[in-house]
Amino acid sequence: MTTQLSVLQRDKAVSRDDTIRMLLDQSKRRGRAVPIRRAFVQVSTPGSTTPRPGPMRHLLRSPERLELLLLVHCVTTRADWGTTQRSETWARAAGISFRTDGTASAAVSRHLAQLKKLNLIRTAPDGRMTRITKLHESGLGLPGLGIPYTLPSGDEKGSARDIYFKVPFEYWEQGYHRSLSMPAKAMLLIFMSMRRRSVVLRQDKEFASWYGISPSTVGRGIKELQDKGLLYPYLSEQYLDGRSVLGQSTRVRWAFAAPFDLNININDREATDAV
């Protein structure tokens, strides 16, 4: 889609929102959502029943780096899983820099270098620009090489490493990339990765350790999602509880409101259809 600019706009850089809209349009994703493997937030190790944190935990102190990675995943839809854009384009879209004097390149390069250390991307010169190729979301593999990206099958009965969730375009179009804090973004991605119709909210140390974050981060993220109306009470259920004098207790299950209610596994879908 070609966007017409007025004469007054031609001599100044476009806004962050316009830049993101251009990238979303360039991706030509018919489903208007970006697939991200669950391994980005939590890695399942073959032969082990204990999951371990994925590379997302290393991005909690850098919202710009997370946004850069998500947009790279959005744009890279071709067979080589690579993309070439100006540094100023990435800088504006990810909120890294809005300068057009050449300094944005160094700022973007620093973020790309950190993503390379996490085995999430690789880079190569492409003329006077840089080509970015996304790698497997787990960050596994040899340092500096990672695991080549493949399109996830989403087979819920196959490898756990191939299960993915989707980040809808509305995440950017409705401004959540700006309005949500990093704890809220972390919990948004974690809960979407579970692919459940509803979840029980936990803030204990065990749950936090599964994702490599602190219980306080979990608590702040959950509260913000609730305050913004993105999590809502779905149902109350009774469960066996050995600490209760009655042997059972009641708890609330929470569900995502639109636009983040699109990740539901096959069992939950079938159970809902059967009602």
Per-residue pLDDT tens over the stretch 32-86: 999 999 999 999 876 667 789 999 999 999 999 999 999 999 999 987 999 999 9
User: What DSSP state is assigned to residue 148?
Assistant: B
The separation between the first and the last C-alpha atoms of the chain, rounded to the nearest angstrom, is 42
Distance CA 143, CA 145 (A): 5
pLDDT-derived band at 166, boundaries 50, 70, 90: very high
Contact 29/151 with Cβ under 8 angstroms? Answer: no
How much is the pLDDT for 209?
Answer: 95
Are residues 156 and 20 both part of a single domain? Answer: yes
Give the mean model confidence (pLDDT) for residues 201-225.
Answer: 96
Contact 123/112 with Cβ under 8 angstroms? Answer: yes
Q: State which of 179, 197, 220 marks the end of a domain.
A: 179
Q: Where are the extended beta strands (E) located within 108-200?
A: 121-126, 129-134, 164-168
- Count H helices and E strands in the chain, helices first: 10, 9
Helix (H, G, I), strand (E, B) or coil at 42: strand
Identify whether 1 is part of a domain.
no
Distance CA 77, CA 99 (A): 28
Identify whether 185 is part of a domain.
yes
pLDDT-derived band at 274, boundaries 50, 70, 90: very low
What is the CATH classification number for the domain harbouring 226?
A: 1.10.10
Higher pLDDT residue, 261 or 249?
Answer: 261
Mean pLDDT computed over every residue of the chain = 90
Q: Which two tokens stand for residue 117?
A: 């250390």
**Domain region containing 218:** 180-275
Identify whether 5 is part of a domain.
no
How much is the pLDDT for 245?
Answer: 76
Are residues 142 and 190 both part of a single domain? Answer: no
Q: State which of 179, 202, 231 marks the end of a domain.
A: 179
- Any residues with CB less than 8 A from the CB of 9 and at least 6 apart, and which? none
Q: How many structural domains compose the chain?
A: 2
Are residues 166 and 155 both part of a single domain? Answer: yes
How much is the pLDDT for 244?
Answer: 73
Are residues 22 and 78 both part of a single domain? Answer: yes
How much is the pLDDT for 182?
Answer: 98
Higher pLDDT residue, 169 or 239?
Answer: 169
My answer on whether omega of the bond before 259 falls inside 30° of 0, hence cis, is yes
Higher pLDDT residue, 37 or 5?
Answer: 37
Distance CA 206, CA 201 (A): 13
Are residues 18 and 45 both part of a single domain? Answer: yes
pLDDT at 6 over 70: no
Angle, nearest 10°, between helix axes 87-94 and 63-75?
Answer: 120
pLDDT-derived band at 267, boundaries 50, 70, 90: confident
Give the mean model confidence (pLDDT) for residues 120-147.
Answer: 95
Are residues 161 and 226 both part of a single domain? Answer: no
How much is the pLDDT for 271?
Answer: 59
Contact 44/53 with Cβ under 8 angstroms? Answer: no
